[in-house]
Amino acid sequence: MNHERLQKQIEFIVEIDKIKHILRKTLLMDGTRHENDAEHSWHLGVMAILLSEYSNKKDLDVLRVLKMVLVHDIVEIDAGDTFCYDEKGCLDKREREEKAADRIFGILPDDQAREIRDLWEEFEECETPEARFANALDRFQPLLHNYITRGRSWKEHGITRDRVIKRNRPIQDGSEQLWAYVEKLVEDSVDKGYLPE
């Protein structure tokens, strides 16, 4: 056994436990508190397994999608969660996250550091079918939370229908069927007063 390799892997495992403390703006579906990044990533993993049949690509590499959704927010340990509607926070988001990726993924043995970094980059670039589907899930999940909580986070932050549509339209690049479902949820949210026009 390579003890140095194992030690680096354990150090990374210990480090990423910090993701459980990174709170998002998304409320749990019961509305009792904000979810953390670990809960979000786990939820996306289950969604990837259950909803992969709705991907625009029929022979989707679901394992690759799972890997991406599990590692995509690890950089937020250092960079923090940037609220998707925070225009100012989004200006330096990429720079903060790249610096975090260098440090955190750099804990791993070189081969695994490259693999995880490549998965993170693939997710961010959103060019492969797997990355587009992973990103679709990443956008769909908080929208679903907002719908179930009767738009509490939308209302709290003054988010309107047009902003929700603009933010979530890339869902259709990963799944036309999920996008059609999202459009219905958005319209229903407006009709029920969860989301202002």
Range of the domain at 107: 3-191
Mean pLDDT for each consecutive 10-residue tract of the chain (197 residues)? 94 98 95 97 98 97 98 96 78 92 98 98 98 98 97 94 96 98 98 95
Residue 13 lies inside a defined structural domain of this protein: yes
Q: Note the pLDDT of residue 99.
A: 97
Residue 196 lies inside a defined structural domain of this protein: no
Give dist(CA 59, CA 57) in Å, integer.
Answer: 6
Q: Note the pLDDT of residue 143.
A: 97
Residue 197 lies inside a defined structural domain of this protein: no
**Strand pairing category for 23-27 and 34-36:** antiparallel
Residue 122 lies inside a defined structural domain of this protein: yes
Residue 40 lies inside a defined structural domain of this protein: yes
CATH of the domain at 56: 1.10.3210.10
> Measuring CA to CA, how many Å separate 7 from each of 13, 14, 15, 149?
10, 10, 12, 43
Residue 79 lies inside a defined structural domain of this protein: yes
DSSP 3-state assignment of 177?
Answer: helix
Residue 8 lies inside a defined structural domain of this protein: yes
Residue 148 lies inside a defined structural domain of this protein: yes
- 24 φ/ψ sector (left φ>0, alpha ψ -120 to 50, else beta): beta
Give the predicted TM-score (pTM) of the model.
0.95
CB 143 within 8 A of CB 135: no
The angle formed by the CA atoms of residues 140, 142 and 144, to the nearest 5 degrees, is: 65
CB 24 within 8 A of CB 36: yes
> How many structural domains comprise the chain?
1
